[in-house]
Amino acid sequence: MSRVAIIGAGIGGLATAIGLQRHGWDVSVLERSAPDSQVGAGLSLFANGFRALDAIGVGDAVRAMAGPEQVLTAGSRRRDGRWLATTPPGAVRELRVVHRADLHRVLTAELGPGTIAYGKNVVEPLTGYDVVVAADGLRSPTRGTDIRYSGYTSWRGVTERPVDLLGGAGESLGRGERFGLAPLPDGRVYWFGVASTPAGTAFPDEFAEIRRRFEGWHAPIAEVLDATGPAAVVRTDIYDLAKPLASYVRGTTVLLGDAAHAMTPDLGQGANMALEDAATLSHLLSARPIAEALTAYDRNRRPRTQALARRARLMGRLLQSRSPQRDTLLRLTPASVVAR
């Protein structure tokens, strides 16, 4: 039986573990955090993410957790609520926004007992495994290359109770600022605020800073903030890789998810790309010799993920723009382009 060590029990690491375990591999997941220490807020699962989940056999379990489609107008608005661009409903019919902790729980439940070893901070090369999968995130010690600051920071939160989104979701745009709203399956709201600031900027009261910037924006943003516990808000400066990697494979060690192609969250594709990675890698390793499978994985995944990372960064620059021409550009963008 082939043995694999997966460094990191995030979404991509867990999905890879499920895929390989179901193909008969001996899987060990090494996670530096303690059990039940998952943090975060919402994440978007698009059609491609669900196809990847189907490929490893857990699509239905995740759909049951994610719930049915919520019919809302989605797109980009001004801070006063006027729509700049709306997304064609068909383009987001399969989109679901879920809490990261809920997705983590569903994926963990699909693994055999004892698969995950917690409190394992891997900093040295691992031996005794046929393959090592480094799914150890943006600041991957395995990868070891530089990251770059995007120019903006984000606050993320989830309301403590359901809030009526008044029929609309998506991002609202100011000048160097934006605010996003998305419904969770239980009626609570996942939200994020983004602001262009120097890297490492600190505010004496983070929640007061969010209110100062955003509570005067259109409804129901003030109500969403009122329904949020300040202690649960997560603040993150946004980084991606400083430059694309020449390869995702080194010997029998392979990079996956943010470790391979960390991108800004501006297309909502980070988790979906990690799931695609996981489905692709587990399929290839089950069907081909290891060296051939890793070569095929690199050849398959690098062009797609690096292209999306470039698009995400460009989209972030557009949405954070202070130029009034941005709003005109969004209003004039054809619906077919928005859908694509």
φ, ψ dihedrals at 307, nearest 5°: -65, -45
Average pLDDT over residues 218-242: 97
Average pLDDT over residues 132-138: 97
Supply the pLDDT for residue 36. 73
Supply the pLDDT for residue 39. 67
Name the pLDDT band for 17 (thresholds 50, 70, 90).
Answer: very high
39 vs 273: which has the higher pLDDT: 273
Average pLDDT over residues 11-32: 97
Q: CB under 8 Å to 56, separation ≥6 — which residues?
A: 15, 18, 19, 22, 278, 279, 282
Indicate the pTM of the whole model.
0.96
Average pLDDT over residues 172-183: 97
Buried b (16+ CB within 10 A) or exposed e, 277-298: bbbbbbbbbeeeeeeebbebbb
The structural domains of the chain, with segments of one domain joined by +, span 3-148+239-339
Task: Please say if the pLDDT value at position 203 is more than 90.
Answer: yes
Fold of 3-148+239-339: FAD/NAD(P)-binding domain (3.50.50)
Cα-Cα-Cα-Cα dihedral sign, residues 23, 24, 25, 27: positive
Task: Please say if the pLDDT value at position 213 is more than 80.
Answer: yes
Supply the pLDDT for residue 162. 98
Nearest in space to 284 (alpha carbons), one of 104, 108, 56, 112:
56
Supply the pLDDT for residue 267. 94
Nearest in space to 20 (alpha carbons), one of 7, 35, 6:
6
Supply the pLDDT for residue 71. 84
Supply the pLDDT for residue 38. 62
Average pLDDT over residues 256-273: 97
Supply the pLDDT for residue 92. 82
- Average pLDDT, rounded, for the chain: 95
Q: Using DSSP, state whether 231 is helix, strand or coil.
A: helix
Average pLDDT over residues 326-336: 90
Q: Using DSSP, state whether 172 is helix, strand or coil.
A: strand
φ, ψ dihedrals at 324, nearest 5°: -60, -20
Task: Please say if the pLDDT value at position 336 is more than 90.
Answer: no
